């Protein structure tokens, strides 16, 4: 029962991803070719609202529904891991046309070949786990 | 009834994504979809090959439910709420058709040349899709997050590391479509 809320939030998110076309390979290609404002508008407006909301949460010290601190921990400072990891991620995002949220959305929409993307992503995660200590972070 | 099937404009979709993040914050969680990949690796016994997967993954089952919900949302949207076609800019549609023989822009949600179920075992596609997924999985964990964790959650919290990661996303993405697509497709 307590998992129902997560299922509902996920379902909402899935519908948003599909209806915004952020889960479309075409839109991702278009974004990286700077061919239209659409995806920049989607991410930009989410971000603008996100920044305002998080500032309000911090200034008014708003807590979770269980009166705990919200999960807004600062990320560890570094450059290589974010830059190299980011570039590798971007290469994959543009090729597969789906990032880790939309790959599930597309699977639900019934496009079976996305299974290869999900399988590849699991393999990539696994290999990162194995090589982690040898990589610059 | 057309408004039900029409795609959402950016100024509707963006705020809804922010809302997803705030829902999760409000119930004490963080918005980050790629964590599910690590959770899955741990759940299938990844701790036998790397300590990175040796953690109490059962605590992260909530996020698997979010991912399962996203799958369900994709099914509902594609089946009941969409005409399943995406109108990209005419210039982009033309370019895809002429340079890469990907012709479905305007008629399909995903290019059938890559994602039609009949081509599930077509070797060239299979390799490209596994490779794409591999880079996504490796890169997301190396960078410590993906689009939801860095571009939305991290940047909303004004994190410099997330800005570096998002710059990386765009370096990688543009290199892929500008320089590698002509080789791969």
* pLDDT tens profile A19-33: 999 999 999 999 999
Contacts of A56 in chain B (CB under 8 A): none
Alpha-carbon distance A134 to nearest alpha carbon in chain B (angstroms): 12
Domain ranges within chain B, ordered by starting residue = 1-82, 116-185
Domain ranges within chain A, ordered by starting residue = 2-134
C-alpha–C-alpha distance, residues B166 and B155, integer Å: 9
Contacts of B70 in chain A (CB under 8 A): 10-11, 13-14, 17, 101-102, 104-105, 108
Task: Locate B68 and state its tokens.
Answer: 């399962």
Are B136 and A127 within 8 A, CB to CB?
A: no
> Does the model's pTM come out above 0.80?
yes
Band (A1; pLDDT cuts 50, 70, 90): low
Contacts across the A-B interface (CB distance below 8 Å): 503
C-alpha–C-alpha distance, residues B169 and B161, integer Å: 12
C-alpha–C-alpha distance, residues A117 and B137, integer Å: 9
- Indicate the SS3 state at residue A98: coil
A45, A92, A110 ranked by CB distance to B14: nearest: A45
What interface predicted TM-score (ipTM) does this complex get? 0.97
Of A53, A12, A126, A75, which Cα lies nearest the Cα of B72? A12
* Res A2: pLDDT: 78
Integer CA distances (angstroms), B154 to A86, B30, B127, in order: 13, 10, 32
B61, B126, B143 ranked by CB distance to A81: nearest: B143
Band (B4; pLDDT cuts 50, 70, 90): confident
| Mean pLDDT in residue range B160-178 | 98
| Mean pLDDT in residue range B108-132 | 97
**Residue appearing with tokens 């594609």:** B78
Evaluate if residue B181 carries a pLDDT over 90: yes
Shortest CA distance from A106: residue in chain B: B74
- Which pLDDT tens digit goes with each residue over A105-136? 999 999 999 999 999 999 999 999 999 999 99
B10, B18, B133 ranked by CB distance to A96: nearest: B133
**A85: contact with B, CB 8 A cutoff:** yes
**A70: contact with B, CB 8 A cutoff:** yes
CA-angle at A41, arms to A51 and A80, nearest 5°: 60
Of B162, B172, B170, B174, which Cα lies nearest the Cα of B31? B162
- Which pLDDT tens digit goes with each residue over A57-111? 999 999 999 999 999 999 999 999 999 999 999 999 999 999 999 999 999 999 9
**A48: contact with B, CB 8 A cutoff:** yes
Q: Which backbone phi and psi does A28 adopt, to 5 degrees? A: -70, -40
Q: Which helix (H) or strand (E) holds A126?
A: helix A114-131
DSSP code, position B101: -
Cα B182 from chain centroid? Answer: 22
Cα A71 from chain centroid? Answer: 16
A12, A46, A124 ranked by CB distance to B137: nearest: A124
| Mean pLDDT in residue range B153-159 | 97
A86, A91, A113 ranked by CB distance to B119: nearest: A113
Backbone conformation region of residue B180, classed left if phi is above 0, alpha if psi is from -120 to 50, else beta? alpha
**Residue appearing with tokens 């959305």:** A105
Alpha-carbon distance B117 to nearest alpha carbon in chain A (angstroms): 6
Are B23 and A9 within 8 A, CB to CB?
A: yes
| Mean pLDDT in residue range B144-159 | 96
* Res A129: pLDDT: 97
Contact assessment for residue B139 and residue B172, using Cβ atoms and an 8 Å cutoff: yes
* Res B1: pLDDT: 61
* Res B2: pLDDT: 76
Q: Which of A30, A60, A86 to mutate to test the interface with B (most CBs of B within 10 A)?
A: A86
Cα A76 from chain centroid? Answer: 19
User: SS3 breakdown of chain A: % helix, strand, coil, rounded to 5?
Assistant: 65, 0, 35
| Mean pLDDT in residue range B97-120 | 96
Band (B172; pLDDT cuts 50, 70, 90): very high
Contact assessment for residue B50 and residue A118, using Cβ atoms and an 8 Å cutoff: no
* Res B3: pLDDT: 80
Are B137 and A33 within 8 A, CB to CB?
A: no
């Amino acid at each position: 029962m307590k998992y129902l809320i997560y299922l509902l939030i996920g379902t909402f998110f899935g519908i948003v991803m599909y209806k915004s076309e952020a889960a479309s390979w075409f839109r991702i290609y278009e974004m990286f070719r700077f061919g239209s404002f659409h995806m920049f508008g989607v991410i930009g407006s989410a971000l603008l609202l996100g920044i305002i909301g998080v500032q309000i949460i911090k200034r008014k010290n708003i807590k979770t529904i269980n009166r705990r601190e919200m999960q807004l921990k600062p990320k560890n400072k570094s450059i290589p891991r974010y830059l190299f990891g980011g570039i590798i991620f971007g290469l994959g995002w543009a090729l597969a046309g789906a990032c880790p949220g939309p790959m599930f959305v597309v699977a639900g929409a019934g496009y079976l070949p996305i299974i290869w993307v999900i399988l590849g992503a699991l393999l990539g995660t696994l290999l990162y786990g194995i090589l982690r200590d040898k990589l610059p972070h | 009834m057309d408004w039900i099937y029409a795609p959402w404009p950016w100024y509707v979709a963006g705020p809804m994504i922010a809302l997803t993040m705030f829902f999760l914050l409000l119930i004490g969680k963080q918005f980050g979809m790629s964590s599910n990949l690590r959770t899955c690796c741990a759940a299938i016994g990844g701790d036998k090959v790397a300590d990175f997967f040796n953690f109490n993954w059962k605590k992260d089952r909530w996020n698997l439910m979010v991912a399962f919900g996203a799958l369900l949302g994709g099914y509902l949207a594609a089946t009941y709420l969409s005409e399943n076609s995406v109108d990209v800019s005419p210039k982009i549609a033309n370019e895809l058709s002429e340079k890469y023989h990907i012709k479905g822009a305007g008629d399909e949600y995903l290019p059938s040349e890559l994602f039609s179920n009949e081509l599930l075992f077509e070797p060239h596609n299979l390799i490209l899709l596994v490779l794409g997924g591999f880079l996504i999985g490796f890169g997301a964990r190396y960078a410590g997050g993906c689009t939801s964790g860095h571009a939305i959650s991290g940047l909303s919290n004004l994190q410099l590391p997330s800005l570096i990661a998002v710059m990386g996303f765009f370096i990688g993405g543009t290199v892929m479509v500008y320089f590698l697509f002509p080789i791969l497709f």
